[in-house]
Chain A
């Protein structure tokens, strides 16, 4: 018997098991798809309403209607990936700590962080993912077919976009792990989801909106450098919606920084996770 488990096949097994479980309750599966989609569509309605009163978000920022919808689609893609792979697992992780059931995960001959991060896959989130792709396609069609300087889409841009999209997912994942691991010290963490919602609400808009006043600049600095959630959507969305960017140097600096931030976040979350496991005192039996 091989000592090292094959992570690929274990992951594939997780995917399959979750799909089987989700499809066993088929009407529940569809209700979940429809309800998460209706949330997204209502949000889209809100932005359509906003764009009936303005033609761009911020003056001279370049975030017109279709550019912003590329941004929105990116938010949707990042969030649906996080919801699909990590959200249910990491909520479960806090619960495992509280009830002491983490013992079982610790005993398995596989990396604990891998196990608790991927065990469940929330398949209904693919509905949002597909909707994100649809919205992205429509917005990109509009941007590439507009009469004044249409965007020229290249394969390279799409490839770079995908890389940065995954970086964004990795940053959010790291933040989640850090938040959840903190429940080892706090005993329980009921407001985890609330905190997550409030913090990530800063990542939902183009970072140019924070260019007003000292409070805005402070927030921009904090959420770019201390907790790098502002770049999660901003960097990939800019690659597609504003290929040249408003300020090219700024764009390359930010992209470079995002790669570094992703690496650092992952390392930091891994460190917090290991540290938290050392403080874990089983509450079971």
Chain B
């Protein structure tokens, strides 16, 4: 019992340190968040042009794979929320750098579990991010409220919240696993580039993945069997009620499956990685 209390107080301390550290740069944070919406502005205009070309000058009533122009804009806005949960800037590269520079040994000699420590850091970072970014997000969503058809029913909102939390976990454990590959290949930069490239295009950040359905061939099946789609596409599509009923149930189960898979993968990578590790650096 005492051990548990001690552990809880350690975690609380880690959390607090991060929280206050991040709050120092809140002005920079807010500006950065607002700037993040700039590329979406061009996307909105691009899709407006595409829908108006389909409708001969009028975008009303036109649909692409079940998405109206308003749906598409709402989708882009929602995908920024998914990405606010699932993106882990600097996580994998940070772990790989610590391995290469030998800094990781400080976690090995302390009574701390490395992965839990990093996870807590991220939770603290993300919470701070949401608290500070809530203002710019609220402004943007309020301005764009016309693109939404009101709130979805409660059970959809619950499923949405659940899939967002899962997307955070998935993003974290997937990047942590990639970072651990640094135990074997000290330099993982090109691997990270490939991961970033695939995430950018195949997570649904660029376009709703349903668009691949009508393309024919195996593309849609391939993209939808990757875990990447849970990072941006899946939560947004749940909110817009594009995924419902049994499909939603299965989607969430598969998402949980991927999270468990990457938790185990990161643990295994760490376990075998440490055996491989030779503590470079001073």
List residues of chain A with CB under 8 Å of any chain B CB: 31, 35, 38-39, 42, 45-46, 49-50, 52-61, 191, 194-195, 197-199, 201-202, 204-206, 208-210, 212, 216, 219
Could you give, for residues 95-110 of chain B, a 1 whenever the CB lies within 8 Å of some chain A CB and a 0 otherwise?
0000000000000000
Cα separation A101 to B41 with both chains bound (whole Å): 39
Decide: A201 and B39 in contact? CB cutoff 8 A: yes
Of all chain A residues, the one with the shortest Cβ separation from B51 is A54
Where chain A touches its partner, the secondary structure class is: helix
CB < 8 Å neighbour of A58 from B52, B197, B215 = B52
- The A/B interface has a contact count, at CB < 8 Å, of 85
Of all chain B residues, the one with the shortest Cβ separation from A201 is B39
Decide: A49 and B197 in contact? CB cutoff 8 A: no
Could you give, for residues 15-58 of chain B, a 1 whenever the CB lies within 8 Å of some chain A CB and a 0 otherwise?
00000000000000000100110110110011011101111110
Decide: B50 and A53 in contact? CB cutoff 8 A: yes
Cα separation A219 to B55 with both chains bound (whole Å): 24
For B214, the chain A residues whose CB sits under 8 A away are: 52
List residues of chain B with CB under 8 Å of any chain A CB: 32, 35-36, 38-39, 41-42, 45-46, 48-50, 52-57, 64, 190, 193-194, 197, 200-201, 206-207, 211-212, 214-215
For B42, the chain A residues whose CB sits under 8 A away are: 201-202, 204-205, 209
Decide: A38 and B45 in contact? CB cutoff 8 A: no
Decide: B46 and A57 in contact? CB cutoff 8 A: yes
Of all chain A residues, the one with the shortest Cβ separation from B54 is A54
For A54, the chain B residues whose CB sits under 8 A away are: 50, 53-54
Decide: B49 and A208 in contact? CB cutoff 8 A: yes
The 11 sampled A-B contact pairs (Cβ below 8 Å) are A39-B197, A42-B197, A45-B201, A46-B207, A58-B52, A59-B57, A61-B49, A195-B35, A202-B38, A209-B42, A219-B41
For A61, the chain B residues whose CB sits under 8 A away are: 49, 53
